[in-house]
Amino acid sequence: MELRPTTGPNMAGDLGRAAIERGFDLILAAGGDGTINEVLNGIVGSKVVFGALPSGTANVLANEVGLSGRPDRAAAELLDAVPVRVAVGAVDQAGHPRRYFLLMAGIGLDARIVSELDLELKKKVGKLAYWHGGLRQLGRDMPRFRISVNGHVHVASFALVSRVRNYGGDFEIAKDVRLTDNDFEIVIQERDRSFDVVRFLMAVVLNRLKSTNGISVIRASRAVMAPVNGIPVHAQVDGEAIGALPATISIVPDAVTLLLPKRYAEG
């Protein structure tokens, strides 16, 4: 066993790659969603077994699969977990290396919040910094983009391409997808006024997304997105900003071996 701390951004992926090269067959990463994503991008396609210990600002993976939010308890729970080969998402953007994600990709509103996030405030108040960023969006119209899914083109202001039901630890937006599936659940908001943000959140809280006008919920394994009028549209994966559209998001089957609690793996 070997413990290796990270000392800066993007180091976790390098540590994961180095562990594989040295012959390790199990990697446990302690951190938030961003750290887990970095490790994923270092190990995707390998046969190493990967487990996540919740820490940091938020850990959607732990919430999703039912692990304790405390690292010590989660570590004990992982002793009874089972390795499961799962798919991941991949984002392809011209001029950028392919970026993998385990949880979700957000296009539009939430990605703009992430890209404009006050990092000093995040250090002080954690997840509340995202709520602060969200409130700053009120009164601002959202740039629109085209998203092509299953042969149909939607003009949208927000899209969530998700592998998990849990969103940020507070909501469930994609209600029917699981990490053990081989596709995404894609939630598309087509309206672009600031009031529509409130309307969307109310539909989430009341579990009425599928019956709300202007919102589409689709199952797919690929989506192609581009801005409508040249105004930059932000994108994020697993809570990390990755730049702007255009982008293609696709599923990558049989991509990583993830330690999952038995009740989730067998569910």
Residue with the two structure tokens 């392809």: 92
Report the alpha-carbon distance of residue 91 to residue 224 in Å, rounded.
Answer: 10
Averaged confidence pLDDT in the chain? 88
247-260 and 49-54: which strand pairing?
parallel
Instruction: Identify which of 17, 75, 7 has the alpha carbon closest to the alpha carbon of residue 42.
Output: 17
Q: What is the distance between the alpha carbons of residues 177 and 186, in angstroms, rounded to a whole number?
A: 10
Residue 111: predicted pLDDT: 85
- Number of neighbours of residue 67 by Cβ within 10 angstroms: 25
Give the lowest-confidence range in 2-11, 104-113, 136-145. 136-145
Place of tokens 């672009």: 192
Decide: 243 and 91 in contact? Cβ < 8 Å: no
Q: What is the pTM of this model?
A: 0.90
Query: Do residues 92 and 250 make contact, with C-beta atoms less than 8 angstroms apart?
Result: yes
CA distance 197 to 215: 11
Altogether, the residues listed in the chain come to a count of: 267
CA dihedral 167→170→176→178, nearest 10 degrees, is 60
Express each pLDDT in 92-130 by its tens digit: 999 999 999 999 999 998 888 877 776 676 666 666 655
Pairing of strands 158-162, 184-189: antiparallel
Gap between the Cα atoms of 117 and 133, Å rounded: 6
**For position 196, what pLDDT does the model report?**
67
Domain parsing of the chain, residue ranges = 11-86+255-265, 91-253
Beta bridge partners of 102: none
Architecture per CATH, 11-86+255-265: 3-Layer(aba) Sandwich (3.40)
Q: How far does the chain reach from its first CA to its final CA, in angstroms?
A: 31
Q: What is the DSSP letter of 142?
A: P
How far is it, in rounded angstroms, from Cα 192 to Cα 134?
A: 15
CATH number among 3.40.190.10, 3.40.50.1370, 2.60.200.40, 1.10.10.10, domain 91-253: 2.60.200.40
At 80-90, the pLDDT tens digits run: 999 999 999 99
Amino acid making up residue 24: F
30-59 mean pLDDT: 91
Which of 49-53, 200-204, 250-254 bottoms out in mean pLDDT, i.e. has the lowest?
200-204
Where is pLDDT greater, at 214 or 68?
Answer: 68
Pairing mode, strands 184-189 and 215-220: antiparallel
Whether residue 132 is predicted with pLDDT greater than 60 in this model: the reply is no
| pLDDT reading at 3 higher than 60 | yes
Res 227: pLDDT:
96
- On whether the CB atoms of residues 226 and 255 are closer than 8 A, the answer is no
pLDDT at 203: 72
pLDDT of residue 8 exceeding 90: no
The confidence score (pLDDT) of residue 112 equals 84
Greatest alpha-carbon pair distance for the chain in Å reads 53
The model's pLDDT over 153-176, given as tens digits with 9 standing for 90+, comes to 999 999 999 999 988 766 788 989
Written as six digits, the tokens of 78 are: 């992982």
